[in-house]
């Protein structure tokens, strides 16, 4: 009861009083003990500048319209978080999706926590909040982790505690950023999963990684299929008559055929130059696919 009374009293003291408190030498702290976070104000959306550190670059328009409808019906349940950067001028720390939806809904005022934060704190707060979101894709999470390590100079052990994830999980996300651009885009666009990407990471050369990506997209390969592909790539290639390597022109032809058909190819050559080509297929449909590619 006393807490409710205190909040009502704070909210009724006026914006100037709240700003005075926010600028005091001993501002109230949130649960982390790091930032002032106890003041909720009502503010016009046009007074809030976008967050320059926003990790997300894409917001689904249909989802924004759906959220705008919910806001019109129920209001904003979770206030935005802002910092003051001038007279009647504020900058968004977190809640850009809610702010965009509020503008679509035509709200003239939105509730917001008023915090103290310098640029580095803003970046850290924005990134940590975004990492906790369920709709963030693995690549966005990986980029956020890397920025926290590089730009906020957070050690990996401390980062693990801040986001509630163990070090190995963080490392697995960050490793995504070492993949070729085409594979990163496929992760970003949800064409392949985190599991697919983690399997591809274990392939040492970029050409083979991209070949596996093409196979995943064409054949809708499962993560288990990809792991099997990776294991097969690591096996030594044995030619005819006990030879462990093929002449360069045959290796090139084998590689070209493999890339065209996206199937396992065996090529055996004897000492006289005669040999066999074996093309593996896994089903009747896979056979038809291979034949159509050979005919094209």
Q: Which residues are catalytic?
A: 96
Burial pattern 32-70, b for ≥16 Cβ within 10 A else e, equals: eeebbbbbbbebebeebeebebbbbeeeeeeebeebbee
Grouping H, G, I as helix, E, B as strand and the rest as coil, residue 270 is: coil
Let me know: does 41 contact 136? Beta carbons within 8 Å.
Answer: no
Distance, CA of 32 to CA of 121 (rounded, Å): 13
The token pair at 133 is 């979101």
Count of residues for the chain? Answer: 296
**Given strand 48-49, what is the order of strands in its sheet?**
39-43, 110-115, 80-86, 89-94, 48-49
Count helices and strands in the chain by DSSP H and E runs: 14, 7
């Amino acid at each position: 009861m006393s807490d409710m009374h205190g909040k009502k009293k704070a909210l009724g003291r006026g914006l100037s009083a709240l700003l005075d408190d926010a600028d005091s030498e001993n501002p109230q702290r949130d649960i982390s003990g790091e930032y002032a976070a106890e003041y909720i104000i009502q503010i016009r959306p046009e007074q809030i500048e976008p967050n320059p550190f926003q990790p997300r670059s894409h917001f689904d328009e249909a989802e924004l319209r759906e959220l705008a409808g919910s806001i019109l019906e129920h209001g904003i349940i979770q206030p935005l978080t802002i910092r003051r950067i001038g007279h009647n001028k504020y900058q968004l720390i977190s809640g850009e999706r809610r702010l965009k939806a509020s503008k679509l809904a035509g709200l003239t005022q939105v509730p917001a926590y008023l915090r103290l934060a310098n640029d580095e704190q803003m970046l850290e707060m924005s990134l940590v909040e975004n990492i906790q979101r369920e709709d963030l894709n693995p690549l966005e999470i990986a980029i956020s982790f890397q920025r926290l390590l590089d730009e906020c100079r957070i050690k990996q052990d401390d980062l693990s505690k801040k986001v509630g994830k163990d070090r190995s999980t963080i490392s697995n996300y960050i490793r995504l950023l070492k993949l070729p651009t085409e594979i990163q885009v496929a992760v970003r666009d949800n064409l392949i999963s985190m599991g697919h990407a983690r399997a591809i990471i274990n392939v040492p050369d970029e050409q083979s990684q991209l070949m596996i990506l093409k196979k995943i997209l064409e054949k809708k390969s499962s993560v288990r299929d990809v792991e099997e592909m990776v294991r097969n790539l690591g096996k030594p290639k044995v030619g005819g008559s006990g030879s462990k390597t093929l002449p360069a022109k045959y290796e090139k032809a084998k590689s070209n055929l493999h890339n065209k058909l996206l199937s396992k190819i065996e090529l055996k050559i004897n000492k006289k130059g005669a040999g066999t080509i074996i093309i593996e297929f896994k089903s009747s449909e896979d056979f038809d696919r291979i034949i159509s590619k050979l005919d094209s």
